[in-house]
Every structure is written in C-alpha cells, then in structure tokens.
Structure 1
Amino acid sequence: MNIGFEAKRVFHNRTGLGNYSRDLIRLLSQYSPENNYFLYNPKSSASKLFEVNDNNVFEKKPSSSFYTTFYNLWRQKGVTEDLVKDKINIFHGLSGEIPLGLRANKIKSVVTIHDLIFVRYPHLYSFFERKIHFYKFKKAAQQSDMVIAISEQTKNDIVEFLKIDTSKIKVIYQGCHAVFKKDFSDNEYKEVITKFNLPKEFILNVGTIETRKNILLAVKAIKNLDTYLVIVGKETAYTNEITNYISEHHLENKVLFLKELSLQELAILYKLAKVFVYPSLYEGFGIPIIEALYSKTPVITTLGGVFLEAGGPDSIYVNPTSINEMENAILKLLQNDDLREEITQKGWKYVQKFNDEVVVKQLITSYNNLVKL
C-alpha cells in the first residue's frame, strides 16, 4: 500500500503530538516495510526532528510556489492533488485533521483524535480556539472512514461530544520510543548527573508546564519532605504561578526546572528518578506514565479518567486536589524500598501491552480492513 500522513507535527513539533507521529511512522517503517509511507510536510523545518530513509518513508512538500506560500491552504485542500499523483491508498491524519476531497478521489481516510480537552476544560482555551478545534475535529471524524482514539477515555469523549458512532472508532494505544527501554552505562548516567547538577535522590515530572498538568500540587507536597523535584518541560504562563510559590516558601533549592533535553538524556533521567509524579487533571492518554513504567520507575498519578488505563492496577493514584494524598504517596514510596521495587516490577509487566509489535499489528490490521471495504 501507499499510505499518506498529515506530517506537520512529525517535522515541527518536539513534544506529545510530534512524538506520537514520529513513533508511529518509525514502527510502520520497521515492522511493515512492504508499504510506502509518504509524509506530507507543509513547509521546511528549522531543525531535523525526523529523518526519512527514502526507501519506504518519503517526505513530500508543496510542489507549486502558490502552495509553498499558502501552505495551510495546501494542508486543507491542495494536498489532495498530490495524494492522487502519488497513488495514495489511505491517508491518515495524525492529529485530528484530514484534507478535503479524499472521498471524491476514492482515497480511504483515517484520523487520530488524541483528546477533547478543549471540551472537558473549556476555561483553558479561548472562545475561538474552542470553536475552531470543535469544528475541525467533528468534521474530520464525520468525513473519515475510521477514527483512531488513543484510549478508551478518548473514545468515550468522541462518542459523547462529537456524536460519532462507536463502530467507527478503533482504540489503538500509543507506543513508546525505544530509548526508554534501553539500559545505559555508568558513564552515561554520570554524564547526565553532572550536566544537570542533579541531586542524589529526586522525584520527577515530565510534560508541558501548564495549568492542566497540575504540577504545583507536587511542589506543595514536597515542601515538608526531604527530597527534590525535577520538572522537565516547556514553560508557559503557569510556570510563574509555580515559581512564585517556590519563592514565597523558599523552595529554590528543592525544585529544578529542565528543558530541551535529548531523548537519551530524558530516558536516563527517568531511570535515575526514585519516583515519577504525574498529577494531571486530564489527558487523552498520558505517554510520560508509559515512559516511566518502561524505565522501571514507580508512578504516582491521578484518580479517574484515563490514568488507570496508562498506569495499570499497581501504580499509586491520588486526588489531584489533595496535597496530603500526594505527600503521603511520595513519602510511602521513598521510605519503603520493597514496596517501590514491587510496584516497579508489576508496572513493567503491565506496560508490555503497549509494546511496538502490539501497536503496529493493530494499526496495519485496521489499514488492511479499511482497504477491503
């Protein structure tokens, strides 16, 4: 098959949607090399986030000066002409969008919807952002031949809010980059410890530093604990709220902010951490939880929502508004080596359900079934 992908985030997004897109292409190229994968990139990228192999993975850009200038119009409409020229059998929108004209040109379509956070937490978005997101997601879900949800939570939201028939939706979990499954040498650990001046013992959080991620809860929870918190992620206005709290309570020496780590540095950081905390209010899935479990680091995350799907039955779950629950959970793991080891081993066994082979088999099966229709 020739399979096309809306690849803006493959080449331009360093975080969640970009990582999902790159991992998916990597898995397909590795485990189903008999297909050709065309990545439709609307514009040149400033940095090399992804390397095509020109064997079964190809990068495609607008071919005319008009669409090179008006690249968003190309993404929405013009790209369909290129899909026809490239004899694309299936087009997969990796982040909630597909272009116009696919059905008219007999091109099967798939769209992945990661979450409907803008519906669940509308106060985190502007009026126009909510309207635009809702319009694009609903239109893509209605017009596509299949919708992929990255969790049961997201599937339920798609049915409830977008009114899409459940028979059209397939839940396929995200994979996890291979670097989080690697072992590292003592020297590699020492290099990361030295480079970032890491404390001997610390708890870790990874993710964009925004209100929804709720990391201030963990900052408050360690105020009276003999430990350190390392926070990795892109900063937003919410960071000011955190730093103000840190300043008011003289916690500057207990909280370390890091950003723009390489994937290997991040993977080593996960393994060095005693505990991973993820007190997010809502996620479509929560890939950092998976990364932590693969890294054999015990997880404390949030009650309700998708978090049990990602963390499994043996992670620790707390009320995202309770400082005491978070503090007690951290303390329990730090003080009990046997419990930490038990949770680590059970979590590692659970996370094998997200292995590459499982994910790609579900995806290829879905593509094949779609072509047969």
Structure 2
Amino acid sequence: MKLNKLKNRGPIIVNATNIGERMSGIGVYSLNLLKAMATMNTDIQFIVYLNKNAKKHFTEFYFPSNFQIRWVSRWLSPDYGFYGHLNRLLFANYLSFKHKRMLVFNTSQLVVNFFRRNQIITIHDVIPLLFKQFHKKQYPYFKYLLKYALRYANKIITPSQHTKQLLQEIYHIPGEKIQVIHNGVPQSEEAYPETIPFTQPYILYVGRVCPMKNISRLIQAFLKLQNHIPHRLVIVGEGLNYIRKEVKAGRLPEDVLQNKRIVFKGHVENKDMRGLYQHADLFVFPSLYEGFGLPPMEAMAYGCPVLVSSAASLPEVCGSAASYIEPENINHLAEGMLKLLKNPTFRNKLVNKGYARVKQYSWHYSAKEHLKILEAQLHSPQATSPKEETKPSVLTNSLK
C-alpha cells in the first residue's frame, strides 16, 4: 500500500512498551502490528519505543529506514506485573511531554496520555470495570482515570463491535470516534510437526490461569468427564497460585495438582505452540469475557476444533466456526466437550470452518487499516512538524 507523501509532517510516536519477554494478548497485538506495518510501503515516519525485554522477538527482524527504534529500560516490561504497568504509565506521560507536538499512538489502554488530544489509543477491553472483584488494583484506573484520556483522544481503536458498544455505554464516547479493527491471526495450514507433545489424546486450553478465564470450572467439568474419556487436560499459561487458592477455598479438590490427567504446562514458547494446537483433539476456551479472543483463532489457524464461551465478543469473532457453551454452567461445559470428543465428523466440520474463518483476520489487513487512521490523523490540523530531538533523552538513559 502506498500512502500519500507525508514529508512535511513529523514522525508518529508509537508506544509499544507493552511487549514483554513473555507474551500477553496485548503484546501479541503490538508485536504483530508493528511487524506488519514495517512491511508496508508508506512515507510515514515512526519513532517506536520498546523495552529491552522485547528484544528476543526482533532478533531476526529488520525495520525499514522510516522506523526509528528506541530501546528503554526492561523495568517497563509487563513481565514485572503491577510495577511494570505503573512504570509504563508514567513513561507514557513522560513521552507526552517529550513529544508534545507529535501524534502519539498508544497500543494499550494501560499506557495513555492524560489530557492530550493528539493521540490514538487502542482499547482491547474494559474487563476491570465489568469484574471489579478480580481487578481491584486496575479498577480505579479504568473507572476514574482512563475516561479522561479517552474523552481527549482524537481516535480510539478497538478489536470488536462488542467492545465499541461498551465504550459508548460506559464512557459515553461518540461512536464516530471509535474505529473497530479486528486483530489478525496466523495463517497456517502446515503439516503437523514431527514431535508429538503427548502420547495420550488431550484437550487443550491456552491463556492466563486466572478467575476471568474460568479455569476452575473447566477443571471441574473435566473431572466429571475423566472416567469416560481417555484424554488429558493440558493447560498452557501462567498462574498456578490461582489454582492453589481455588483448592484452599474448597472449589477444587486437594489433589488436583497431583492429578496426572491434568497437565499444567506453564509458559510455552511460541515455536512450540503450533504442535500443541495441531495435535489436540479439542481446544476449549470458557472465558467469562474477551475483548477479542486470540487463542481460539490461533487454534482454528492450526486446524484444531474449538469450543468457546458464548460470552462477550467471542460469538462475533468466532462465528459459526466454533461450538459454544454457557461459561458459568459446569454441566453444559462438560456436555459440550463430550459431544465434540465423541463426534469426529462434527470436529472435522469445525476444523474446515475454522480455516475459512481465520482468512478473514490477517495482520496485513489490520495494519493497513491502522495506517489509514494514522495517515488521517497526520492530515488533521493538530499534526505539526516541529524539530525533533534525535538524541536519546536523559530519562530514557536513566531507566536502563
């Protein structure tokens, strides 16, 4: 894609410090969007801020000359939890002053510039507002602070119509200010890798292990089935402390962590995920809420049949390529898994529908739509062309 020449405009500041060593959904979005934008033919100049923990994801990737990459302290990484989030928020507002006449693109709702109009923000979800009991630290930010940034921002990007509607209802933001751009997913129908992850058949879950992801009910549903099926339940994602709390609260049996039929894999590198998806008999995603829902789409891309929650944006994103369950009904979840495991014809039908569905979601198309918005904002009256300091700042150096 060739955009209009923008040589008289200053560069766009991209704050992508939310990419950590270990990837979250927001990190996956920022990483893939950056790489896709870097392959497109555009005259837009970018200054991209990344934390040093993200370097491993760019070791074999080279940015074109219109991308200037600035590496900042690893302590801004989401790998450091709440303190990493706080550091990134402070750094984002430092950038707002440092580049006060530049257009800023913040790729996460957790790093916004307060009281600044010349910015674009991607809002992935508003989960802390909907489930306060699970997000006590983030709730005040979403309730009292984020709304000011959203009201001032020139444009808001969100990955689903469902999230757009929530932003309109909760923050009273005009619909024309919010642009829905779906995330992309990997496009792959490659053959199975030679290494088979498990000798036994298995059901797969990928994502954080936390209350929002409904893992406790997933385990309870599996325990109802384990004597009727030969499968293991493989859970990929960090958060074993949550499982221990569920055991302590009596919602899971005390021996769940010793159950050999339930495998907690923890963090798995991206290079190993394809095999896990491709060899699974079923991918289950019973989340209570998603702003988009990348793991089910990744499962479809790798030829795995998908069973998902009927909550939030998941029906919008997955369409008829998935089977659905009521996420708070353990019996319905168990019945949904058993129905698919006992019906290979239905599973194959979902696999074929999944391949067709993921073709609607590409990072190339997503990047193209993002660039259209960035170009439009550069042409707006607020976009100027001041002299830009090219040397790294004192604050940036002090964070190393």
Moved more, 199-208 or 94-103: 94-103
Moved more, 132-141 or 261-270: 132-141
Q: 1:275: Cα distance to partner?
A: 0.6
Counterpart for residue 119 of structure 2:
109
Q: How does 1:26-65 map to 2 (within 5 A)?
A: 26-32=35-41, 34-41=43-50, 44-45=52-53, 48-51=56-59, 53-55=62-64, 56-61=66-71
Instruction: Select which of 158, 168, 193 maps to 2:167.
Output: 158
Q: 1:81: Cα distance to partner?
A: 5.2
Q: 1:369: Cα distance to partner?
A: 2.3
Counterpart for residue 23 of structure 2:
14
Instruction: Select which of 340, 352, 369 maps to 1:362.
Output: 369
Question: 1-side partners of 2:327 and 2:354: how far apart?
Answer: 21
Counterpart for residue 252 of structure 1:
259
Q: 1:27: Cα distance to partner?
A: 1.1
Q: 1:251: Cα distance to partner?
A: 7.0
Q: 1:76: Cα distance to partner?
A: 3.8
Question: 2-side partners of 1:365 and 1:110: how far apart?
Answer: 12
Counterpart for residue 81 of structure 2:
none
Q: 1:359: Cα distance to partner?
A: 1.3
Could you tell me which amino acid in structure 2 is paired with residue 344 of structure 1?
V
Partner of 1:357, secondary structure, is: helix
Contact persistence 1:297–1:344 (CA under 8 A): yes
Deviations 1:116-152 (A, max 9, x none): 11111111122x5311233332122112110001111
Counterpart for residue 83 of structure 1:
99
Counterpart for residue 241 of structure 2:
237
Could you tell me which amino acid in structure 2 is paired with residue 274 of structure 1?
D
Question: 1-side partners of 2:200 and 2:68: how far apart?
Answer: 45
1:266 aligns with 2:273: yes
Report percent identity of matched pairs: 24
Q: Number of residues paired by the alignment?
A: 349
Moved over 4 A (4+): 70-74, 100-103, 241-244, 248-251
Question: 2-side partners of 1:136 and 1:94: how far apart?
Answer: 17
Q: 1:110: Cα distance to partner?
A: 0.6
Contact persistence 1:76–1:100 (CA under 8 A): no
Could you tell me which amino acid in structure 1 is paired with residue 234 of structure 2?
V
Contact persistence 1:299–1:311 (CA under 8 A): no
Question: 2-side partners of 1:358 and 1:72: how far apart?
Answer: 28
Counterpart for residue 328 of structure 1:
335
Partner of 1:305, secondary structure, is: coil
Counterpart for residue 180 of structure 2:
171
Cα distance change on mapping 1:186 and 1:315 into 2, 3 Å: closer
Partner of 1:354, secondary structure, is: coil
Counterpart for residue 346 of structure 2:
339
Contact persistence 2:92–2:113 (CA under 8 A): yes
Could you tell me which amino acid in structure 1 is paired with residue 113 of structure 2?
P
Counterpart for residue 25 of structure 1:
34
Normalising by structure 2, report the TM-score: 0.79
Q: 1:346: Cα distance to partner?
A: 1.1
Counterpart for residue 317 of structure 2:
310
Cα distance change on mapping 1:58 and 1:332 into 2, 3 Å: same
Moved more, 1-10 or 18-27: 1-10
Counterpart for residue 66 of structure 1:
none
Contact persistence 2:296–2:318 (CA under 8 A): yes
Question: 1-side partners of 2:87 and 2:128: how far apart?
Answer: 25
Q: CA RMSD in A?
A: 2.7
Partner of 2:69, secondary structure, is: strand
Counterpart for residue 384 of structure 2:
none
Counterpart for residue 218 of structure 1:
218
Could you tell me which amino acid in structure 2 is paired with residue 200 of structure 1?
Q
Q: 1:287: Cα distance to partner?
A: 0.8
Cα distance change on mapping 1:304 and 1:263 into 2, 3 Å: same
Question: 1-side partners of 2:94 and 2:246: how far apart?
Answer: 44
Cα distance change on mapping 1:125 and 1:80 into 2, 3 Å: closer
Question: 1-side partners of 2:192 and 2:278: how far apart?
Answer: 12
Cα distance change on mapping 1:25 and 1:254 into 2, 3 Å: same
Cα distance change on mapping 1:331 and 1:10 into 2, 3 Å: same
Question: 2-side partners of 1:278 and 1:145: how far apart?
Answer: 35
* Larger relative contact order (CA 8 Å, sep ≥ 6): 2
Cα distance change on mapping 1:13 and 1:201 into 2, 3 Å: closer
Counterpart for residue 67 of structure 1:
none
1:132 aligns with 2:141: yes
Q: 1:241: Cα distance to partner?
A: 4.5
Contact persistence 2:217–2:328 (CA under 8 A): yes
Question: 1-side partners of 2:97 and 2:87: how far apart?
Answer: 14
5+ residue gaps, structure 2, are: 1-5, 74-85, 381-400
Structure with higher helix content = 1
Cα distance change on mapping 1:73 and 1:288 into 2, 3 Å: closer
Cα distance change on mapping 1:102 and 1:313 into 2, 3 Å: same
Could you tell me which amino acid in structure 1 is paired with residue 15 of structure 2?
E
Counterpart for residue 396 of structure 2:
none
Partner of 2:360, secondary structure, is: helix
Deviations 1:289-316 (A, max 9, x none): 1111111211111123111012112311
